[in-house]
Amino acid sequence: MKLATKVCLAGMVIMAWLAGNGAGPLYAQGGEHLKFENLTRKDGVSGSEIRNVIQDEQGRIWFGTRFNGVDVYDGYDIEVYTHDPNNPHSLAGDPAFSVYKDRQGTIWVSTLGAGLSKFNPETETFTTYRHDPADPTSIWDDSVQFTFEDKDGNFWVAAANGLDKMDRETGIFTHFSFDPTEPVAPSNQNIKVFYQDRAGHLWLGLRRGGLRRIDPATGQVLAAYTHDPTNPDSISDDNVFAILEDHTGTFWVGSWQGLNILDRATGQFSHIQAEPDNPRGLSDRRIFSMLEDSQNNLWVGTGVGLNRYHRATDDFSRYFHDPNNPHSLVHNEVLHLYEDPSGILWISTLAGLSQLDLTPPKFTTYRATSAPGSLSSNDVEAILEDSGGTLWFAAEETLNKWNPQTNTFTQYHPELNVSGPLGYIDAMFEDSQGTIWLGTQNGLYTFKPKTGIFRRYTEQEESPLGEEIRQIEQDRAGYLWLNVQGAGLKKVDPANDIRHIDQSSTGNLWVSTISGLNNFDPDTGDFTTYTTEDGLPSNLVEWTAEDDRGTVWIGTANGLVKFNPQTRVFKDYDVADGLTGIELSSDMLKSSWGRIFFVSINEGVNRHRFTAQSHRL
């Protein structure tokens, strides 16, 4: 017989919190906004007050309710285990104070007034341990607060009237009581928290009894800490509900008068008091729970909100319930905190469960904003990784270069150096020379990453200018193939990208291209081509200018060149000769008074006068 009630949650989706997810503002003070997902009675949870949460070996989430048994959630359905008075193998009682999983994976349920129940997964039934006045080896009391397994495998059971160590093989309980010289009634000292520090010391937090350190072998009290109103270094309050040693070794004690930090060498406490009116202060004095997550964040559950402590600034971010926000904390009274192995923080409250994804964001979103270094537009049409590993994003008419170290973008705007509208960029391709070809809504363009210069491609009359280019690919022969909207497939020879044409004094034409310099004889129809193999410093030739002696001056992407057409000898000029920069642009002017003006990319204007000295080879 299956002792469970099943509630269908097929329509419920649990979403992970993602940075930049576009959700509206969440109710938080003193920190970033977090998105909580909630499980409540309307989702099938059997009771509002959730005592604590654990995850079993199958990945299911168990949580105990104050009056309505134990719920088991598998991400889709909730099974509810309750007490059946006619079935001895049902849950011992419905007030489930806590649920615990030991190292063997066994689930234990502590109940109020009905003993301790152990879950049997094969039969989905429970075995219950109850107090028997006639048996001194039975459990001390039927009101069980919680169970705990220490590092040595000892299994401790905290009952209302004392502490038991249970032998799980035999079911025998060994009883430990507090020091009889302490005149505090055991009923006023019920155990609220059991904790073991890195050194193996066992600590108890008591209701109205302060903090105790006990001997794990005998259960006897080795040290007791109670509030002394005459001693400012004593613990702030005797109601201790939370204990935590963080990764730095700091020993935190949560009481009903704020946070305490114990110096275990001196026995002295320092305190962090509640500051409800300070948005960076602790939100409430009543501390019910503490947890250090897998990323070393310290979370504090209080009577009024969830707090996250920032060690660097010694202050808090605070998160509260907002009735107008379904993704705020489900209730302000936080009773228990648990992080499951997948990085989900489960938050038990008086009105159900909240969960928060603590894992790093699964997606990083980049959006266009007014901040420097942002993407130029959210309308991204094309992405390219160039031969150097740089990522380029085409957003509308702008190229964006991503810097992965800073997560910022450098924007390149074609309107600064291209006449006429570029149109949206739909396609990008990098050729073997490092030039990026852009297919746009207004034809084909090139972009030089080193210079930031955009150019309209002008090959010949059948150039696809004015047509929308959707895709660019290059074949093995080096030709570019364009997918042109409404016009099919077109082939382009990148080597025919003409930069400049200049007529010489002999009537020949000097044709500057991205693949070298061509001399065209109109009488014969012959071309003579000059490249780096012939002495040019670069195949990217921007312009030529002939002086009155017939010498040809050549502007390239790697400096200025003087060329003697008769001897076919090249002479290079660079910054050592006075150039402001060796990468020359297409901007050049030959004046009527014997001077040539030309531009080095990002380095300003150069002026050169043709002289006899300049003609010496």
The answer to whether residues 420 and 396 touch, using CB atoms and an 8 Å cutoff, is no
Is the same domain home to 539 and 472? no
Q: Could you tell me the pLDDT band of residue 599, with boundaries at 50, 70 and 90?
A: low
Is the same domain home to 537 and 562? yes
Digit-coded pLDDT (tens) for 226-239? 999 999 999 999 99
For the segment 470-489, the average pLDDT, to the nearest whole number, is 80
Domain end marker among 496, 514, 545: 496
Digit-coded pLDDT (tens) for 526-558? 878 898 889 998 888 888 888 878 889 888 888
Digit-coded pLDDT (tens) for 358-405? 876 555 778 888 889 999 998 888 899 999 899 999 988 899 999 988
Is the same domain home to 485 and 386? yes
Is the same domain home to 490 and 423? yes
Domain count, the chain: 2
Percent of the chain predicted with pLDDT > 90: 48
For the segment 30-48, the average pLDDT, to the nearest whole number, is 84
Is the same domain home to 473 and 520? no
Instruction: Establish if 102 belongs to a structural domain.
Output: no
Q: What is the CATH number of the domain that holds 552?
A: 2.130.10.10
Is the same domain home to 415 and 520? no
Is the same domain home to 407 and 475? yes
Instruction: Establish if 200 belongs to a structural domain.
Output: no
Is the same domain home to 491 and 509? no
pLDDT at residue 547, as a whole number: 82
pLDDT at residue 583, as a whole number: 67
Instruction: Establish if 299 belongs to a structural domain.
Output: no
Digit-coded pLDDT (tens) for 141-194? 999 999 999 999 999 999 887 889 999 999 999 988 765 555 443 444 688 999
Instruction: Establish if 435 belongs to a structural domain.
Output: yes
Q: Looking at the predicted structure, is the pLDDT value of residue 10 above 50?
A: no
Q: Which of 129-133, 307-311, 483-487 has the lowest mean pLDDT?
A: 483-487
Determine the Cα–Cα distance for residues 51 and 301; give it in Å rounded to an integer. 13
Structural domain of 580: 498-615
Digit-coded pLDDT (tens) for 276-322? 999 999 999 999 999 999 999 999 999 999 999 999 999 999 999 99
Which one is predicted more confidently, 264 or 505?
Answer: 264
Is the same domain home to 388 and 463? yes
* pLDDT mean across residues, the chain: 83
Determine the Cα–Cα distance for residues 243 and 251; give it in Å rounded to an integer. 8
Instruction: Establish if 219 belongs to a structural domain.
Output: no
Determine the Cα–Cα distance for residues 393 and 411; give it in Å rounded to an integer. 9
Q: Looking at the predicted structure, is the pLDDT value of residue 8 above 80?
A: no
Q: Looking at the predicted structure, is the pLDDT value of residue 121 above 80?
A: yes
Instruction: Establish if 31 belongs to a structural domain.
Output: no
pLDDT at residue 184, as a whole number: 41
pLDDT at residue 170, as a whole number: 97
Q: Looking at the predicted structure, is the pLDDT value of residue 605 above 50?
A: no
pLDDT at residue 5, as a whole number: 41
Domain end marker among 462, 496, 530: 496
pLDDT at residue 53, as a whole number: 95
Burial of 240 (0-12, 13-18, 19+ CB in 10 A): buried
The pairing of strands 287-292 and 436-440 is: unpaired
Domain end marker among 496, 513, 545: 496
Is the same domain home to 519 and 538? yes
Q: Looking at the predicted structure, is the pLDDT value of residue 38 above 50?
A: yes
How far lies 87's CA from each of 64, 90, 98, in Å? 20, 6, 22
Is the same domain home to 396 and 419? yes
Instruction: Establish if 450 belongs to a structural domain.
Output: yes
pLDDT at residue 22, as a whole number: 30
Instruction: Establish if 11 belongs to a structural domain.
Output: no
pLDDT at residue 57, as a whole number: 93
Is the same domain home to 483 and 400? yes
How many Cα atoms sit within 13 Å of 477 on the Cβ side? 6
